[in-house]
Structure formats: C-alpha cells, structure tokens
Structure 1
Amino acid sequence: MLVTIMKGQSDDKITICRADGTTAAAQFPKKGPVPHDAVHLIVEEVLGLAHGFWGMIAAGHDPEEIQDIAKAAGHASAKRATAPGAEILELIQAERIVEAAEAALWSGGTDVEGMRDLAEAGCRASYVPVPPLSLAGAQEIMARVCALRDDWASAGIGHQLEHRWALT
C-alpha cells in the first residue's frame, strides 16, 4: 500500500492506494510538529503492529471510520473504562505509543526512557498489554520521528511524504 501525506497550510492530506488498487483519502488538521498519522507509520512499522491504524486501512477500512470502529469495540475512555475488543488491541497499543512519541518529541525528542514510561502508562490506562518495546525499538522510533520533524519543518506547503506500507 502506498501512503502519501501532503503538507497543507492548516490541514494535511492523506491519499492511499492499497495493494488491491482501491483508494482512500482523508484530510486532517495539524496538531503538532509532524503529521500524527505519519508517526503511526513509524510506530506500527518498527513494532510490527500489522493490525494498528495502517493495517486497518490496508485491510480496506476508510481512515474516517477508524474512530467509530474503536468506539464500537470498547475503546477505553473516562466514561467506559473497560478492556477493548481484541480486534482493536493493536490499534489502541499503537495510539498510546504514538502519543508517547509525540510527547517526547514536543519536549525535545531525547527522552527515550520517558517515552517508554509514557507508552506503558498509556497502555495500562487503556486496558491493553504493552507491546514489546525494547530500548533499541524506542530509540529507533524516536530517531525516525525526530528525522521526520526535521524534514517536515523545512518542507514547504505541498511537500509530499510517500511511504510504502508492507505489513499485512
């Protein structure tokens, strides 16, 4: 699956071309120094989470429907603090680690141990097991997220990041 993220003025755009030729597109507001869904690409790839956000997209889901799928499967929130369904386990794990990586990035991107601690706390609070996150894996995630930040910050409007998603 080919994922293209295009930098916009206030929103970024994603276009997806799946292995079977089907396509999808989405637009999302900026919420930090890098596109949130690009951090998902990094986290899910490094950790081999084939059924996270991008795995669900590769399987044919539209990006816009993922949040509703997560809610229907019992995504833990303050109002519904229960274990989520197995079908969204990796989705929730990925989201918690992405959030931890973004928090580490916002504070300079060098606190790998702090990122791991945040990821573990986030997974526990969401009632999902922490996926194996070695120090080397966390370092790779943060190195790639920091490189993305540096590239994205200097890129102009219209810049496109292309990534080939290979996990199935």
Structure 2
Amino acid sequence: MEVIFQRVSATAYFSTATRNDGVTVRVPGYDRTSPIPHDLAHFVAEHEFGLARGFWGSVAAGAMFTNMKVVDGRRRPHADERSKRIMKANGLWLGAGEAVAGAVHDAVEEGHTAERALVALRKMHGVVSTEPLPVGVEDVERAMSALRAAEDRWAQVPAGEGMALSWRIPVYDPGLGDRRSKDRKGGRRKPRGVR
C-alpha cells in the first residue's frame, strides 16, 4: 500500500492510502501542535514493529473507519461487511498500535530514552494484554530512529505537497481462512496451469 502524507499548512495535513485493490482512501488529519503528525507516527511505529493488524495494516486490508472516504477506485462487493470483520478481529491490535505509536511518538518529541519509552510501552501494553510484550529496547531504538528520519523528511515538505511511504507488511484478513483456496464444492483448487 502506498500512503501519501499531504501537508495542507504548518499545522494541518491529511493522508491518502492507495491499497493493493486499487482503491484510494483519504484519512483526515487533525490540526496539531507537534512537529510530527499523529498518523505519520502511527505509520512509522506500526511498520517498524511489524503490526499487520494496527491502524495502517487494517486500512491496507480494507477497513474503512468512519472518518475515511474513498477518493478513487471502486470498492469490491461486500466491502462494508469485510471492513467490519477486519475492525472487529483487529480491535485489540488497534489498541496495541495506539500504544506503540504513542510511546514512540512521545519519546521522540520529548527526548526520552528508548529505555523510558519501553517502560511506557509496557505499561500501555499491560492495559490491553496479559501476555509479555515481545519487544526489547533495540526494537524501540529502531522505531525511534525511523520516526526521527520521517520527522526530518516531513519538515522539508512544503504546504501543498506530500511525502510518500510504502506499507510493506502483508495484509491480515481474518475472514479469508481457507476460502480462497477451495472451490465451490469444498475441494482444493488446483494451481493455474495444472489439470
């Protein structure tokens, strides 16, 4: 998925995401007081931590959050049902994405160490899960470094222009299961070219 963070003014932005199905959606931004747009922090942190089921991964899979709108392309049949299924299945992960983005964003903007950000991240993670957090300080340092680089790039984008980033994490769609690989009679489909 290709995402463009479009600067409107010094404090306003929006994003467009062109998904692999050819649909482009617009995600509104919000006026901000920080140098890093919230959605950009989400993108970088979720991508660095490999969160296929956070906000941007859900968008890539076909989720349409209420504040989004299609600006190009044609949605597939049953797209609304698919969107609801993705958001429901990814609910816990959407919270995890918010925690990861918040911890990394705050650490970069407030000049905290990766160790301090990891402590904050563990606290936030504890609210949504009893499982241990599967990341270490090196992971947080890598995400913070990537966000600083994105911040530097964003600072160079003039009003009316955008910054493009590629989402390269495979899409997770909880409803597909084995349905793609079975024919209507319930048997396995043969690969193309096999008789």
Same fold (TM over 0.5): yes
Aligned residue number for residue 158 of structure 1: 160
Q: CA deviation at 1:115?
A: 0.7
Q: CA deviation at 1:126?
A: 3.7
C-alpha distance in 2, partners of 1:129/1:11? 37
Letter in 2 for 1:4: I
Q: Secondary structure at the match of 2:160?
A: coil
Q: Secondary structure at the match of 1:29?
A: coil
Q: CA deviation at 1:142?
A: 0.4
Q: How does 1:70-85 map to 2 (within 5 A)?
A: none
Q: TM-score, normalised by structure 1?
A: 0.79
Distance 1:2 1:47, change over 3 A: same
C-alpha distance in 1, partners of 2:90/2:30? 27
Farther off after superposition, 43-52 or 153-162: 153-162
Distance 1:25 1:114, change over 3 A: same
1:91 aligns with 2:99: no
For the Cα contact (< 8 Å) 2:2–2:18, is it kept in 1? yes
Q: Tell me how many residue pairs correspond in the alignment.
A: 151
For the Cα contact (< 8 Å) 2:58–2:90, is it kept in 1? no
1:86-140 CA distance string (max 9 Å, x none): 53122111110111111112212x5111111111111213446454222221111
Whose helix proportion is higher, 1 or 2?
1
For the Cα contact (< 8 Å) 1:24–1:63, is it kept in 2? no
Q: CA deviation at 1:14?
A: 0.8
C-alpha distance in 1, partners of 2:155/2:130? 33
Give 5+ residue unaligned stretches, structure 1.
67-71, 73-84
Letter in 2 for 1:21: G
C-alpha distance in 2, partners of 1:146/1:22? 30
Structure 1 residue ranges, 4+ long, deviating more than 3 angstroms after superposition = 63-66, 126-131
For the Cα contact (< 8 Å) 2:157–2:163, is it kept in 1? no
Residue from 47, 50, 71 that aligns with 1:48: 50
C-alpha distance in 1, partners of 2:6/2:92? 29
Aligned residue number for residue 26 of structure 1: 27
Identity score, percent: 26
Distance 1:3 1:128, change over 3 A: farther
For the Cα contact (< 8 Å) 1:39–1:145, is it kept in 2? yes
Give 5+ residue unaligned stretches, structure 2.
69-83, 172-195
Aligned residue number for residue 110 of structure 2: 107
C-alpha distance in 2, partners of 1:150/1:30? 19
